[in-house]
Amino acid sequence: MEVLSEVSRTLGEYLLLPNETTEECTPDRVDLTTALVRHRVGEASPLRVATPLLSAIMEAVSGPRLAIALAQCGGLSFVHQNQPVEAQVEDVATVKRHKAGFRPATVSLKPTATLDEVAELVRESGAEQVPVTEDGTVGGRLVGLIGPGDFHRDRHGGGAPVSARMRGVGDLLTAPVGVSLGDANALLWDRRADVLAVVDGAGVLDSLVLRRDYDTHKRFRHESVDGLKRLRVAAGVNTRDHRDRVPALVEAGADLLCIDSSDGYSVYQARVLEDVRSAHGEGVYVGAGNVVDGRAFEYLADAGAAFVKVGIGGGSICTTRAQKGIGRGQASALLDVAQARDAYARRTGEYVPLVCDGGVLEDSHMAIALAMGADAIMLGRYFARTSESPTRRVRVNGQDYKEYWGEGSMRARNTARYEHHEHTQAVAFAEGVDGLVPYAGSLYDAVAMTTSKIRATMVSCGSTSLEAFRESARMVVVSEQSFRQTGAEVLVRERADTIG
């Protein structure tokens, strides 16, 4: 038996000390670009993102709509693996069909559908414009568009047909497949239109260009896109069906994969990494984890992991520590693993990025995790609270919430991630809970606010890049009395959309 002498510490137990802020160190000059896959020291990573925020591999978090929004903000989403291969592949394909500025056709209705059906489809899918096709299928010939602004249920009646309120294709602004985004936006502004339909020679809708997306594109100039200008998206895999799941996801265009497990220090993950490398070569990137110490990091790095996730039991929805007595404070885990990562880079010449997964309760914790050595932050609760997450929005006692559950909960029944039974599909005990989190509004606003805070922190610490931030950061452990004085000492009116 070995008992470490350290105290297991969380991110909230540390504060950063300011460094000199020079005239050149301003928020607009801070570059948050980060590496996501391993690379030779001194060379650029093959996959980098402009915003170091990743959405967790969770059914309650990473749906296609959220993946699109996060990629537009410069981050990356990991579509969850707790679903059939075909369903996960379709989620990935939906995001990849979304070229920057072009919204793919993913839903549709018949002209005979009712306005109530339109309202329900808009609520479920988040679509702002619903294509109307002859046969009601996405691949059918376009006959019109309808959106929430085209009707009012009380005025027009929920049972009225779509054909009565839709804008017919003859009244729509259209362009052929292949039109550039610049030309599409020019048409929208010149014709004072809100939407442009891109259709092929057979009259089938390919995508929509919305004028309001012009402002979004200008606001987020650093979208995560591949060489074909398609939005980037990642996906989770497991150690059970990876031989079927990985090739299907690669074919669908997934930019990055990650083995989804609460404990990554296992021969099963090493075998997955070896299998993928043998079948697909070095061009398919697979991350691994989770780990909490340097030994486990080196094990997965030697096995070929593209990146390593750090954190066990620190998630807001996770109960692994209570159920199994396994884990480590997130700060202690990050500091240990980052030290091992840096030593590994010196020894081998290979830099393996770290992803902080769990233990983040405040925006300030993200800055501290980045200073401790994380290259990116993976978040569940943070994104689950936004409009773009795939779960239902519910109202309780006048307060809006979003549903949120852990991958180890009874609701998820994720036996591919938590292998409690070898020969059954039952979950012997839960390692997560099922609950509600306060609704926090738009992901776009949340990410903008969070990244502005991180930039401000880095400026106070005299850094304009994440690498410089890690190298120059100075921290101090917070005492209990200091912790009590961290927050405001007046009565603060809480807002439901507070994201921190």
Catalytically active residues, by annotation: 318, 417
Half-sphere exposure of 55 (CA within 13 A, CB side): 35
Report how far residue 79's alpha carbon sits from residue 72's, in angstroms, rounded to the nearest whole number.
Answer: 16
Residue 332, SS3 per DSSP: helix
DSSP letter assigned to residue 27 = G
- Alpha helices by DSSP H, listed for 191-310, are 212-219, 242-252, 267-280, 294-303
Q: How far apart are CA 116 and CA 130, in angstroms?
A: 13
Element (H, E) at 321: helix 320-324
Cis upstream peptide for 19 (omega within 30°): no
Tabulate helix, strand, coil % of the chain (nearest 5). 35, 20, 45
Q: Do the Cβ atoms of 311 and 296 come closer than 8 Å? A: no
Closest to 296 (Cα-Cα) out of 286, 311, 277: 311
Report the b/e string of 289-308 with b at 16+ CB within 10 A: bbbbbbebbbbbbebbbbbb
Residue 48 to residue 72: CA distance in whole angstroms: 14
Residue 234 to residue 232: CA distance in whole angstroms: 7
Distance CA 23, CA 276 (A): 48
Name the token pair of 377. Answer: 């932050």
What are φ and ψ of residue 4, in 5° steps?
A: -70, 145
Q: Under a CB-based contact definition with an 8 Å cutoff, are residues 140 and 206 in contact?
A: no
Helix ranges, 73-180 (H): 85-96, 115-125, 153-156
Q: What gap in Å lies between CA 493 and CA 342, rounded to an integer?
A: 44
Question: Looking only at Cα atoms, what is the longest distance across the chain?
Answer: 77
CA dihedral angle for residue 420, residue 425, residue 428, residue 433, rounded to 10 degrees: 100
Hey, which residues does 287 pair with through a beta bridge? 258
Q: What is the distance, to the nearest Å, from the Cα of residue 400 to the centroid of all Cα atoms in its chain? A: 22
Token pair belonging to 16: 């950063």
Residue 8 contacts residue 328 (beta carbons within 8 Å): yes
C-beta of residue 71 within 8 angstroms of C-beta of residue 232: yes
